[in-house]
Every structure is written in structure tokens, then in C-alpha cells.
Amino acid sequence: MKRIVLLIAASITLMFVFIACERENSSDVNQDRIYALYEIYYDKAEDVSYARASFFFGSITGTKLELSSPSNVKFNDVEMGFKNALAYYETSNAGFIEQGTFVWTDIDGNSFTNIATVKTIDLQENMDTINKDQAYEITWIGEPLGSDENIWVFINGQLENDELNAYQTTPGATKVILTATQTNRLSVGTNQIFIQRRNNTEAQEKTSAGAKCAGIYKSQTYNIEVK
């Protein structure tokens, strides 16, 4: 990875670690004001599924919370461990988990059961060459985009400042279009590309503060030629 990208990534990581340190114990707040985010993240390259649960006071922008005993959160009946650096709960499993169940129990004994679902997405292995200064269509393998879903495409070359991020949020869409302005930023030669899909749904059981579920699928990384 290019040095400037590493420096930026390191800065962002330090920022998140600093932010994560600003948290409270869940016993210090009204249990009905705890907002929850439940996520299943599958990385095709690693072939690992990560289940993550995050808790906040009031809303997703509120202070992060660490659960106080006897409060706990489980994924598919397995208690999740707390990741201190980023202040969320996580467990991992080999292979693709399409759907899973989170159960959070607060300190008052109230339980909230929610199911998150991951929708698959992929790219063709042998994609057409991208021509700089010309628009380019990326048609993914998978269902058309649903409501409250988004697609992210990332392309990276070997030079500095040649990364490209492209997004799709329109329900019913089946492709992402790179504009001529975007393709002009790419480096000639072999670039790397992946696509990621995020499926957001309202939680089935939640406090008055709310909750969300999300399934995230990240494809493996492919080579793509640019000329």
C-alpha cells in the first residue's frame, strides 16, 4: 500500500481508538435509552463471518457503551466478547453465515432478539478493460439493490492518489457506473477492485432509542486492467 494511504489509515485508526476510549458502562444509563447496532460482516477473501454488536447511549451518534454484568449479548447462542480498542462485541466463524440471531439482555433482565441477513454480491472474474476518460459499467452478480441497501466499489492502482470509490444506493439498480471523470483518475496497468454490499434493516425488537441490523458482504479482490 502506498505510504500516504498508510499514513491516512494509521491516523484514522488512532482517531477511532481515541473515540472508542470515550465510553461508559451500560449500568450508568437508562436501559430504555440504549441504541443497538447488530452486524454480520462476511469477507470472501478471508472466508470468515464476523458478528458484531455495538451499543450507544440515545442514538448511533451517542456515547459507546460497554455492557455491565449481568447484561450480555449473544450471537447464535454464543456469548460475544468485547473488543476494547473499538468498543464493540464480536465473534467470528469460518465460512459464510447468511443469517444469524442476536440476543441482547440488559441489566434489568429484558431480552431483545434480532435477526440480521447478509445478501451476496460478486464481480465477474475477467472484467473488460477500463478505458481512461470513458464511462464504465460494473454489473454485479447478485440481486438488484433493495431499499435501504448500498453498494460500494473500490479500485486501487499502484500510484499515489489513484484510488476510486463508487457507490450505488438506488433501489432496483443492478450496476454501478464509473464516470469518465472517475476513470481518468485511475492508473494505466493492473488495478485491484472489490465490491461490497450492505443490507440495512430495522431491528425487530428494540428499546425506545431504536436499533438497526445490517448484513455486509465483501467480495474477494480481483485484478482489472486500465488503459
Which residues 6+ apart lie within 8 Å of 99 measured at CB? 40, 115, 116, 117, 118, 215
| In-domain check, residue 36 | yes
Verify that 100 and 145 share a domain, yes or no.
no
Verify that 19 and 49 share a domain, yes or no.
yes
Segment 79-130, tens digit of pLDDT: 999 999 999 999 999 999 999 999 999 999 999 999 999 999 999 988 999 9
Q: Is the pLDDT of residue 21 over 90?
A: no
Verify that 54 and 90 share a domain, yes or no.
yes
- CA 70 to chain CA mean position, Å: 29
Exposure string (b/e) for 169-204, b if CB count within 10 Å is 16 or more?
eeeeeeebebeeebbeebbeeebebbbbbbbbbebe
> Lowest-confidence range among 20-29, 68-77, 83-92, 163-172?
20-29
Verify that 98 and 28 share a domain, yes or no.
yes
This prediction has a pTM of 0.88
- pLDDT at position 23 is 83
| In-domain check, residue 207 | no
C-alpha span between 127 and 224 (Å, rounded): 6
Last residue of a domain, one of 83, 117, 151: 117
| In-domain check, residue 113 | yes
Verify that 150 and 105 share a domain, yes or no.
no
| In-domain check, residue 27 | yes
| In-domain check, residue 130 | no
- pLDDT at position 22 is 72
- pLDDT at position 4 is 44
Which residues form the domain of 29? 3-117
Which of the four pLDDT bands, split at 50, 70 and 90, describes residue 57?
Answer: very high
Q: Is the pLDDT of residue 24 over 60?
A: yes
Report, as an integer, the average pLDDT of 28-39.
97
Q: Is the pLDDT of residue 6 over 90?
A: no
Verify that 24 and 104 share a domain, yes or no.
yes
Report, as an integer, the average pLDDT of 201-215.
97
Q: Quick check: 65 and 55 in contact, CB under 8 A? A: yes
Q: Is the pLDDT of residue 18 over 50?
A: no
Q: In 3-state terms, what secondary structure has residue 47?
A: coil
C-alpha span between 220 and 150 (Å, rounded): 18
Segment 147-196, tens digit of pLDDT: 999 999 999 988 888 899 999 999 999 999 999 999 999 999 999 999 99
- The candidate with the shortest Cα–Cα distance to 191, out of 220, 225, 165, is 225
Task: Compute the mean pLDDT over every residue in the chain, rounded to the nearest whole number.
Answer: 91
| In-domain check, residue 97 | yes
Last residue of a domain, one of 117, 148, 177: 117
Verify that 7 and 106 share a domain, yes or no.
yes
| In-domain check, residue 122 | no
| In-domain check, residue 125 | no
Q: Is the pLDDT of residue 10 over 60?
A: no
Which long-range CB contacts under 8 A does 1-7 form with residues at least 24 apart?
2/158, 2/159, 2/160, 3/160, 4/160, 4/161, 5/160, 5/163
Q: Is the pLDDT of residue 8 over 60?
A: no
Verify that 113 and 140 share a domain, yes or no.
no
C-alpha span between 198 and 213 (Å, rounded): 10
Q: Domain count for the chain, please give it.
A: 2
Verify that 144 and 183 share a domain, yes or no.
yes
